[in-house]
Amino acid sequence: MLKIERIPTLGDNYTYLVICDQTGEAAAIDAPEADPVVHKVDQLGVKMTKMLSTHHHWDHSGANPDLSQRWGIPVFGHAADSDRLPGLTDGLEEGDTISVGNQLARILYIPAHTRNHIAYVFDESDAVFCGDTLFAAGCGRLFEGTPADMYRALVEKLGALPDRTRVFCGHEYTESNLVFAAHIDPDNRAVADKLEEVRAKRANKAADWHDATSDEMTVPTTIGEERRINPFMRAADAEQLGRIRLEKDNF
C-alpha cells in the first residue's frame, strides 16, 4: 500500500518519495535538491502533501523551502530543530504519528548523529526511514551524540523493529561500510557474502549518481540483515560501539 521511490540526489544521497497507492498522496523524505524530486513527482503524477526530514543537515533538508513553496505544503522534522532545519513548519516528537494518504508513520527519536534526529516508521509497510543514524552495514558519525546515544538508537530502538523491516537510509555507503565490517569481523560469512553481492551491483555504476538505476542501488537492507552484518548493531554495549566508531572514523 505504500509505494517507495528512491531518488538519487547530490553525490551519494538517497531522497525518498513515499506514495499512498490508495489516494495518490505523497511525501518526500530528506530532499537536498529540488529538481530530481520535481521530475519524479511530475513523472508519476502524484499529489504532494508533505516534506519530511530526519535531521537538519543541509544534505537532507536543503530543498525543503523551495519544494514547500512550490506545492504549498508543510515541512516536518523534530520540534527542537525549529532554529536550524530549513523550512520547518511542524514539529514532531517521539510517539507522534503522521499520515501520507491512508498510510501512517510513527516517530522514533534516535539522537546520536545529531541531537534531534528522528526516524519515520511505517509499520504496516515494514519500512523505516532512518536518515544518517543507521546505514546499511554501518552507522553515522557521532557529531552531536555519544556512543550510549547511538547504542540506544541502533540496538534498543531500531533494533527492536521486526527483522522484516526494510531499512531506507540516507546514503549509498554500503560497499565501504562492508569493507570495514569485514575488517572488524573477518570470520563473519554473512559480511563476506554481502560484500561480494554489493560489489557486483556497484561494478557497473553510473558515472553520475543522478543517473543511478535500481540495479546499482544497495538500499534497502532489512533489520534482520543488519543484525547479521552491521558491526555497530552487533556491538555488545555502548563502550564497544564507541571503540568501533572511533576505529571507523580513522579507517
Closest listed residue to residue 119, CA positions, set 64, 172, 65, 52: 52
Q: Which of 78, 113, 117, 149 is catalytic?
A: 113
> Is there a catalytic annotation at residue 171?
yes
- In the set 57, 81, 117, 149, the catalytic residue is 57
Instruction: Verify whether residue 183 is a known catalytic residue.
Output: no
Active site residue 60: yes
Of the candidates 55, 56, 78, 117, the residue annotated as catalytic is 55
Is residue 117 flagged as an active site residue?
A: no
Distance CA 246, CA 243 (A): 5
With contact defined as beta carbons under 8 Å apart, do 107 and 118 qualify? yes
Please tell me which residue in 59, 66, 81, 149 is annotated as part of the active site: 59
Determine whether 59 is an active site residue: yes
Helix 35-44 crosses helix 64-71 at what angle (to 10 degrees)? 40
HEC string for the chain: CEEEEEEEECCCEEEEEEEECCCCEEEEECCCCCHHHHHHHHHHCCEEEEEECCCCCHHHHCCHHHHHHHHCCCEEEEHHHCCCCCCCCEEECCCCEEEECCEEEEEEECCCCCCCCEEEEEHHHCEEEEECCEECCEECCCCCCCHHHHHHHHHHHHHHCCCCCEEEECECCHHHHHHHHHHHCCCCHHHHHHHHHHHHHHCCCCCCHHHCCCCCCCCCEEHHHHHHHCCCCCCCCHHHHHHHHHHHHCC
| Catalytic residue numbers, as ranges | 55, 57, 59-60, 113, 132, 171
